Amino acid sequence: MAGCAARAPPGSEARLSLATFLLGASVLALPLLTRAGLQGRTGLALYVAGLNALLLLLYRPPRYQIAIRACFLGFVFGCGMLLSFSQSSWSHFGWYMCSLALFHYSEYLVTAVNNPKSLSLDSFLLNHSLEYTVAALSSWIEFTLENIFWPELKQITWLSTTGLLMVVFGECLRKAAMFTAGSNFNHVVQNEKSETHTLVTSGVYAWFRHPSYVGWFYWSIGTQVMLCNPVCGVGYALTVWRFFRDRTEEEEISLIHFFGEEYLEYKRRVPTGLPFINGVKVEL
């Protein structure tokens, strides 16, 4: 697992990532350069080269590794904003780019603020899994092909707006879960109980046993509704449902081991929040 500097001052990774994310998002100013005489592609190439040179001058590993990832996500967010306000059939893809960039960046930022002991470069979730990467690429390919051959399919604004609302709901719920859990939240299922590990049952955990999974579930499906991707929409729904079914069972085995009857009582009282997923079965 790739890690950040162990001796870094508290909060320094959060401040560094925020500053470089905003630096990347400054691509929003690119239209001003094009109006000043630079061609679009030339201006973009110069901008990217200048950003990387600046980061190389300012930071050394491992801080550069944090900076380049946060800056890249800021750049994607900025490009997404520009695309969102363009008068083209790609405007809804701009919504998607903004949503994707904010999701991955906020995963790192919230972890840096909330549970810095578990922070690493992996907290960006950019290298989540091969399956995650293939799924993302598939959705981009589907959107591109359908936008070429059936452009009217990508102009269903009410459907894209519904997807955007699902994404916002899922993102807010997941981040609320991370903040509520505090240092108990970890991107990796824990097999050993730490001294500070407590069972969180308040806030959004009073609504769902797995609010962070519920949030991610609806966020991921919402991205495909936003893109009006019928094939990936169905594929994502089936894939993430199966993933979170297995993930909740794996996690609940550990939680029952950690907290015993306390967790079993909580499990009886509060649903998982995921459709048709009840968690691990317990023999009575």
Locus of tokens 């998607």: 96
SS3 38: coil
pLDDT at 1: 41
Q: Is 4 within the bounds of a domain?
A: no
C-alpha 71/C-alpha 76 separation (Å) is 9
Q: Is 220 within the bounds of a domain?
A: yes
pLDDT at 4: 45
Q: In DSSP terms, which residues pair with 120 in a beta bridge?
A: 3
266 and 163 part of one domain: yes
Q: Is 240 within the bounds of a domain?
A: yes
pLDDT at 196: 81
115 and 141 part of one domain: no
C-alpha 227/C-alpha 97 separation (Å) is 10
Boundary-marking domain end, from 110, 127, 144: 127
Residue ranges of the chain with per-residue pLDDT less than 50 = 1-7
CB atoms within 10 A of CB 33: 17
- Residue 241's domain comprises 128-283
39 and 137 part of one domain: no
Distances (CA, A) of 156 to 32, 92, 199: 31, 10, 44
C-beta of residue 112 within 8 angstroms of C-beta of residue 13: yes
122 and 160 part of one domain: no
Radius of gyration of the chain (CA): 21
136 and 229 part of one domain: yes
Q: Is 36 within the bounds of a domain?
A: yes
Q: Is 6 within the bounds of a domain?
A: no
Residues 251-262 pLDDT 10s: 999 999 999 999
Percent of the chain with pLDDT over 90: 81
Question: What CATH number is attached to the domain comprising 215?
Answer: 1.20.120.1630
Go through 139-155 and write b for each residue having 16 or more CB atoms within 10 A of its CB, e for each that does not.
Answer: beebbeebbeeeeebbe
Nearest to 186 by CA among 240, 266, 100, 107: 107
16 and 69 part of one domain: yes
| pTM score | 0.92
164 and 189 part of one domain: yes
Judge residue 166's burial from the number of C-beta atoms within 10 Å of its C-beta, 0-12 exposed, 13-18 middle, 19 or more buried. Answer: buried
136 and 207 part of one domain: yes
159 and 210 part of one domain: yes
64 and 119 part of one domain: yes
Residues 108-153 pLDDT 10s: 999 999 999 999 999 999 988 899 999 999 999 999 999 999 999 9
